[in-house]
Structure 1
């Protein structure tokens, strides 16, 4: 019998947009609170560091970009982090002090280019980066902000309680991406998102049923008060409703039922203990990469090599 239970905490909150220090302070605050309640795994929303810029146009129209938009994008770039880097070392100290696994959505940059990525970073209770994942396809206007990830970051992390990994928001609608994650033996499927609609709840329940795994979904609760009023393009959201994202964070069990119901309309912490033995029991009649697969009919080839534009042959 599998008794590797774990208590999971899902954070539904948001930092001040474009403010890295606000993000790090929020990570420390929520992680401490989750650890005090016995959590061993703490999950934060999509691009929690340093915020999802919902509603901002960045001065972009087809065929033109504005100087104000460039200024705001530069501010967004400055609030991004490197993986690994001094900011992940800071987060690592938070994880180590709390004795938890941290899974955090971040805006990632690297020294060799100015392109940003929508990423998940995994940090273990030893304080070290265990892995990362870059969003494969930014959705819609997100492509103005973030580049595409590649197959080298389809990370699944071994832990004492099972294998954890995930996909970000709408890349969970990519059947082949999900299949690649299932093939890695994922037990806890983490889905940081910015989608607060009812259809997202259908998505995470479907993934749980399909993968026979736990699904942990974390979204931000965001109001206009989280936006710096001195943004060059603040007028983009001036006439929007005060609540920009209502949340909907939830935890779903491997047969598609809620372990923790969706939280809407406020910041908060969702905590639930996961009985990992449920995964084995749930796969008795459906194992998507086992007896319910047909490799004689269907096969998937996954390219997990890093995609480099320039290869220096030394």
Structure 2
């Protein structure tokens, strides 16, 4: 690590649902504002491109689907991006223009096979505009499994920067003790936690993780309202009884002893900014290093499969 201090930013906002251009417009605007405040690393919420479809059922019932739900899913999938692809090039141009690490929650389309499977992903862009990596959510939560496939261990991405190692787990992946342990073992210094969880208990989670991993935690959630949903959704009627505020936020920045550096913000869009002293990570691990002197490998061991998984293999005949 060469750089002792880094200024980071966390965005709490939401795009118009299904509108990729709305998402990119906001990313560019927040990147410009963040850079004016001296931010070098900027984080956006879970599936910011192109929105977390809270409250939508996509016409799904056990044993049946509706034509309207299929239409809405098609429209939702049209907002997905390929990684790499034209959309990552656009993100790269934004990152390079402002000279910052840009970390964005994105709806990703599979490129390997049918192109129909979608993933809930994090994309990492460098300050030079290069694509540094991605992470696919390992387990979509509950009804999310209807929308997104499961990632594998090949995208447990951790990236070395001048100020330390960064990487992320998405929303309830952070409740998976073994996933956290894998990230700790990779030497994570700043853990990115894009989320859609606005409950009070989420705050307990991110503070515990910071204290457990002796790392900084940057938690980014959307502030989303029903007005951001297109009125011509085929199944819009099912949303009419929902509250106007669909996600109240709760984004926060937490230090390596579990203390807030920026307390959670609720009920509005926000850009949270904090300067992190990276030397405090080593200081915090003086009495607790979860995968070092406070581990017991003679009792507990974790084996992580980081190979890419596939159920189809092609072999050329001779």
TM-score computed with the length of structure 2 as normaliser: 0.97
Which residue of 2 is the match for residue 153 of structure 1? 155
Which residue of 2 is the match for residue 300 of structure 1? 302
Matched, 1:69 2:69: yes
Question: What's the secondary structure of 2:211's corresponding residue?
Answer: helix
Q: Provide the rounded CA distance (Å) in 2 between the counterparts of 1:227 and 1:298.
A: 47
> CA offset at residue 311 of structure 1?
1.4
Which residue of 1 is the match for residue 230 of structure 2? 228
Q: Provide the rounded CA distance (Å) in 1 between the counterparts of 2:160 and 2:126.
A: 10
Q: Provide the rounded CA distance (Å) in 1 between the counterparts of 2:289 and 2:96.
A: 35
Equivalent residue runs for 1:1-314 within 5 Å: 4-111=4-111, 112-113=113-114, 114-314=116-316
> CA offset at residue 39 of structure 1?
0.2
> CA offset at residue 126 of structure 1?
1.1
Number of aligned positions between the proteins: 314
Structure 1 pair 50–182 and aligned structure 2 pair: CA distance change class (3 A): same
Residue deviations 1:206-255 (CA, integer Å, cap 9, x gap): 00000000000000000011101111111121111100000000000000
Q: Provide the rounded CA distance (Å) in 2 between the counterparts of 1:299 and 1:181.
A: 14
Question: What's the secondary structure of 1:152's corresponding residue?
Answer: helix
8 A contact 2:3–2:162 mirrored in 1 = no
Q: Provide the rounded CA distance (Å) in 1 between the counterparts of 2:71 and 2:10.
A: 33
Aligned CA RMSD, in angstroms, stands at: 1.0
Q: Provide the rounded CA distance (Å) in 2 between the counterparts of 1:262 and 1:277.
A: 24
Runs of 4+ in 1 over 4 A off after TM superposition: none
Structure 1 pair 210–2 and aligned structure 2 pair: CA distance change class (3 A): farther
> CA offset at residue 109 of structure 1?
0.2
Q: Provide the rounded CA distance (Å) in 2 between the counterparts of 1:206 and 1:311.
A: 42
* Unpaired runs of at least 5, structure 1: none
8 A contact 1:2–1:277 mirrored in 2 = no
Q: Provide the rounded CA distance (Å) in 2 between the counterparts of 1:199 and 1:313.
A: 49
Residue deviations 1:141-181 (CA, integer Å, cap 9, x gap): 00010000000000001101100001000010000000000
